[in-house]
Structure 1
Amino acid sequence: MVRMVTSPQRPRPGAVSALLIGTALAALTGCGEQRRDADTDAGAPSTSASASSSPGASPYVEPGVVDGAPHNGDNNAYRRPGDMTPADEEAAQAEAARMEPVLKQLHREKKWDPESVKDALTGKLGYEIRKVSSRGKLLGGELDVQAMRQRYEGETDEYVTPEGASIGLYVGRHACVTAFVQPTNYGLKTNGPFPETGCMEPPVGH
């Protein structure tokens, strides 16, 4: 860092007198304005200084949003999982520990299509495929296995469905194991259900 140093200059006598007079007038004027503001704005709610000092700033930018995207929190509410109790989390972690070796083996054997993943999880771990009626009533089971969601490829300007499988395991009513297996890797995590997709990882964007 470069530090700028300037030599002090002695002010002219006349300039000193003018400076003192100007300072005294400014002080008197400032006091009058302060009293007037206090009388006028008594009881008015205070406002943030930063809000008024940023002309042109969007009123919809939310705190903590790095890119300043409007309504970012609301738009991504569907990607926030529900809360788990300590007991829920412990139960979900136990199921994740059971599932992880199976996913590892599937990846090693290059079996990441939904049918192979479904067969392995039901056959080796005893899970049942989750069934829901046309009216949304749960008929039984706790396991969902689906193809990976489509995603947009900018290079080809089209939507493609990647190889692999998405996995959602319901552990009771309030806990999940959300997982995937694909050619590049596999992974799993524990969380509460998502508002719209249950234990399946919701898509990015809405």
Structure 2
Amino acid sequence: MSLSISGRPGSPTMTGLALAAVLCLGGCGEQHASDSTAGAPTGTSRSTAAAASGASPYVEPGAGDGAPHYNENNGYRRPGAMSPASATDAAWEADRIRPVLKRLWEQKRWDPATVRAALLHLGYEEGRTGSKGKPHGGTLVVRAMNSRFTDGREVTPEGALVGLRVHTDACVTAFVQKSNYEVTTNGPYPETGCFEPPSGH
């Protein structure tokens, strides 16, 4: 870059122009912080700036809360995939179960024994477990709702959970309780079969 200044050497005008030129040229070639790292000390990387702002530089794509290892730690809470044919069969079974649970809910009868008896009338066989807790025949499991801590003590709410194994890759899961009922389809969970595992592991 060339600069041409006319005037008498040593004059105030000449000195001011020369000083302005030096300041302008002094900024050439410098890199300035992008918006994402603005305000960070020179030499600070984007991940260091993110950590300084409280954001994790290790966020996994698709991670629910952005925590490191979220997907790995919550793999047990993801149901398996259903084949299209199995999904169709599971939807058909869900349509059989839904009116039964609706009727029981309207009658205010949602205890596990009553729900189990009503669903066995549809022709399902009650699921059994072997000596080591492994499934041993039958496809239907009806049990009490999951317990939870309320006011410092463990409480089991009124109602029943339903799990029906339609195929090795397909389930119908449902519940009926005082406030509502619901019937859905899903693939089995790695550790808990048809039932969604409780939070925490």
TM-score range, shorter chain: 0.7 to 0.9
Aligned to 2:42: none
Gaps of 5+ in 2: 1-12, 32-44
**Larger fraction in helix:** 1
What residue identity is the alignment partner of 2:194? C
Q: CA RMSD in A?
A: 2.5
Gaps of 5+ in 1: 1-11, 31-48
Deviation, structure 1 residue 137? 4.6
Is 1:194 the equivalent of 2:185? no
Aligned to 1:184: 179
| Greater radius of gyration (CA) | 2
Is 1:26 the equivalent of 2:27? yes
Aligned to 1:53: 49
Deviation, structure 1 residue 79? 1.2
Q: Find the partner of 2:146 among 145, 149, 156.
A: 149
Between the two proteins, what is the percent identity of the paired residues?
Answer: 49
- TM-score after normalising by structure 2: 0.76
- TM-score after normalising by structure 1: 0.74
Q: Spell out the pairing of 1:63-142 with structure 2 (5 A cutoff).
A: 63-65=61-63, 67-123=65-121, 125-142=122-139
Within 2, Cα distance between the matches of 1:158 and 1:179? Answer: 26
Aligned to 2:160: 165
* Length, aligned pairs only: 174
Within 2, Cα distance between the matches of 1:65 and 1:24? Answer: 47
Deviation, structure 1 residue 131? 1.3
